[in-house]
Chain A
Amino acid sequence: MSAVLRGADGTRLSVDHGLCSGTGHCQEAAPGAFRLADRRAWPAEGLDLAAADHAGLRRAADACPWYAITFTPGGNG
């Protein structure tokens, strides 16, 4: 019921599909990091979590009006 992506450094990004309603707030907060399909958000294909913009992913987690996104930085955060 969740779309989960793990980075090489232990970074983890998940979208809880029991909550997500596909409104796209995450796409606006973290451009390029999410895609929308079937009224749900998913981590974008080929997203390299270790190298991604962590501030943007944190913004996406904070901006989600459905509280569906969890972002946990790995390694050195």
Chain B
Amino acid sequence: MPEMTPEATRGAADQAGPAVPVFKPYTAKADFPWEELARDRSRCPVAHSEHLDAVQISSYAGVKEVMNKVAEAFTGTYSTLWPLTEPLPVDQQVFPSADPPRHTRQRKLFVKALSASRIAHMRPFSERLAERLLDGILARGTGFDLVTAYSRRISEGHIAELLGLPEELRERFMYLSTLTELSTADGKGMGYRAELDEWQAQLAGMVRERRAAGEDSDDLITRLCFAEDEGDRLSELEVASLIRAMIRAGNTTSAAALTNTVAALERHPEQKAKYLADIEGLTPSLVEEGLRYDGPALGLWRRCARETTVQGYPLTPGDRVFTVTAAANHDPEVYDRPDEFLIDRDWKELPPHLTFGWGIHHCIGVNLARLELETSLAALYRRLPGLRLEPGAEIPQVPGPVFRNWLSLPMVFDPVSTGAGR
């Protein structure tokens, strides 16, 4: 895919008027958008984009300012995945698309189950899952698609373990999660509406059944079903929406983060060599760099709810904003050599990348995501000798402005003699 469209070139040449964003993710989504995002960030970090029909924000300071002002000046109720013209039905306002106090009530139900100390207990499970999947990949030959055989199985396995999802539902829920991701491509979310509505109804049915069966288990779904807010239970639909959001976010974002990190490592042989020489020592900083360099979010939508400013740019209620996380994470004001993939950056000294967001909506799955990435990357590169991209393979990028995700990543590795795999 070309990195610069003809319109983009014309826009960049037009130095006379106010700078116009060149980023065109609907019609000309670049496989590697760093150059065009750098142009927008340096020439017009906060500017109206006709293409997005929104104020596009692409500097680290600007994106973080929006995240810090979310509670006072913005709303997520028009969805953060599609720029809707009406708010979502109340029962579907969950997590990023809920505002306080609804959001606070929902988040409090989850923080304990997803806290750093609780997730740390999942490490043995996480390591076993990666080993088991790699056993299967090794048994099947010397080629596989990383996305379907590994990344998605890793994320689906973790979220199912956390939520207590029955085995027979996992594959279908993963499929529906990827449909949600694809449905962001047209900016309207209409593409797969019937199937996604059916999913919602199925989950509401599951909530009904668990409530009827009584509180006989300690898994997260059961606890949600019986959670009370000032003496009232949450509605069936709200619990269903919360479960769906957990499954979707847990499935697609961490799988994308894993795939994107492997793709980046394979495109940077000198970084890969460095990693192979010290897998143990470099895994945590590889994970952070993967999330910064090519995290699963390209950007997110919000809507201005009260008059405010972002980096001095005035916004009024009803204005749509699109915060380009991928541009913020490559801001040279914050990171040296921002468009380079460097797996040994010292993250103790660096400001956090904004892939997990910031403020009241900070990704609640941050600990789970880091655990999954650490165990699955280390195991993958330990177990598969000579791992590399399949030469000449097509590597498609998910369409639309919201996500960054390679939809398949065909890989090959050297044969391993039986019994010598470990």
B193 CB within 8 Å of chain A = no
Determine the distance from Cα of A66 to Cα of B116 in the docked complex, in whole angstroms: 10
Interface residues in A25-67 (C-beta closer than 8 Å to B):
25, 39-40, 63, 65-67
A23 pairs with B362, CB closer than 8 A: yes
| Distance of A70 from chain B, by nearest CB (Å) | 14
User: A39-B116, A66-B115 are known contacts. Are A21 and B366 too (CB-CB below 8 A)?
Assistant: yes
Determine the distance from Cα of A74 to Cα of B339 in the docked complex, in whole angstroms: 50
- Please give me the residue from chain A that is nearest to B118 by CB atom: A18
User: A67-B108, A67-B111 are known contacts. Are A20 and B116 too (CB-CB below 8 A)?
Assistant: yes
B15 CB within 8 Å of chain A = no
Q: Pick the contact of A21: B116, B358, B361 (CB < 8 A).
A: B116
Interface residues in B84-134 (C-beta closer than 8 Å to A):
107-108, 111-112, 114-118
| Distance of A18 from chain B, by nearest CB (Å) | 6
- Which residues on the B side are within 8 Å of A65 (C-beta)? 107, 359-362, 364
Q: Pick the contact of A24: B108, B111, B352 (CB < 8 A).
A: B352
Q: Pick the contact of A19: B112, B356, B366 (CB < 8 A).
A: B112
- Which residues on the B side are within 8 Å of A63 (C-beta)? 359
Determine the distance from Cα of A20 to Cα of B359 in the docked complex, in whole angstroms: 14
A17 CB within 8 Å of chain B = yes
B359 pairs with A18, CB closer than 8 A: no
| Distance of A28 from chain B, by nearest CB (Å) | 9
Which size class do B's interface residues fall under? Answer: 10 to 19
B352 pairs with A23, CB closer than 8 A: yes
| Distance of A26 from chain B, by nearest CB (Å) | 12
- Please give me the residue from chain B that is nearest to A16 by CB atom: B115
A22 CB within 8 Å of chain B = yes
B178 CB within 8 Å of chain A = no
A23 pairs with B366, CB closer than 8 A: yes
Q: Pick the contact of A20: B115, B356, B358, B360 (CB < 8 A).
A: B115
Determine the distance from Cα of A24 to Cα of B356 in the docked complex, in whole angstroms: 13
B117 pairs with A1, CB closer than 8 A: yes
Number of chain A residues whose Cβ lies closer than 8 Å to a Cβ of chain B? 17
Binding site secondary structure of chain A: loop
B116 pairs with A22, CB closer than 8 A: yes
- Which residues on the A side are within 8 Å of B367 (C-beta)? 21, 39
Of A17, A22, A23, A68, the most chain B CB neighbours within 10 A belong to A23
- Which residues on the A side are within 8 Å of B107 (C-beta)? 65, 67
- Which residues on the B side are within 8 Å of A20 (C-beta)? 115-116
Of A40, A63, A65, A67, the most chain B CB neighbours within 10 A belong to A65
B111 pairs with A19, CB closer than 8 A: yes
Determine the distance from Cα of A18 to Cα of B367 in the docked complex, in whole angstroms: 13
- Which residues on the A side are within 8 Å of B352 (C-beta)? 23-24
Determine the distance from Cα of A24 to Cα of B348 in the docked complex, in whole angstroms: 11
Determine the distance from Cα of A8 to Cα of B256 in the docked complex, in whole angstroms: 50
| Distance of B28 from chain A, by nearest CB (Å) | 35
- Which residues on the A side are within 8 Å of B359 (C-beta)? 25, 63, 65
Determine the distance from Cα of A1 to Cα of B99 in the docked complex, in whole angstroms: 30
Determine the distance from Cα of A20 to Cα of B362 in the docked complex, in whole angstroms: 13
A19 pairs with B115, CB closer than 8 A: yes
1/0 per residue, CB under 8 A from A, across B353-377: the answer is 0001011111010110000000000
Determine the distance from Cα of A65 to Cα of B107 in the docked complex, in whole angstroms: 9
Determine the distance from Cα of A46 to Cα of B107 in the docked complex, in whole angstroms: 33
B362 pairs with A25, CB closer than 8 A: yes
B111 pairs with A66, CB closer than 8 A: yes
| Distance of A31 from chain B, by nearest CB (Å) | 14
1/0 per residue, CB under 8 A from A, across B328-363: the answer is 000000000000000000000000100010111110
B108 pairs with A18, CB closer than 8 A: no
| Distance of B229 from chain A, by nearest CB (Å) | 15
- Which residues on the A side are within 8 Å of B358 (C-beta)? 25
- Which residues on the B side are within 8 Å of A40 (C-beta)? 116
Determine the distance from Cα of A1 to Cα of B108 in the docked complex, in whole angstroms: 18
- Which residues on the B side are within 8 Å of A19 (C-beta)? 111-112, 115
B362 pairs with A18, CB closer than 8 A: no
- Please give me the residue from chain B that is nearest to A37 by CB atom: B348
Of B115, B360, B362, the most chain A CB neighbours within 10 A belong to B115
Offer 12 A-B interface pairs, CB within 8 angstroms, sorted by A: A17-B117, A18-B115, A21-B116, A21-B366, A21-B367, A23-B366, A25-B358, A40-B116, A65-B107, A65-B359, A66-B111, A67-B108
Given known contacts A66-B115, A67-B107, what 5 new A-B pairs fall within 8 Å (CB)? A21-B114, A21-B116, A21-B366, A21-B367, A65-B360
In the complex, the 6 A-B pairs of residues with the closest C-beta atoms, listed nearest first:
A65-B362, A21-B116, A19-B115, A66-B111, A39-B116, A19-B111
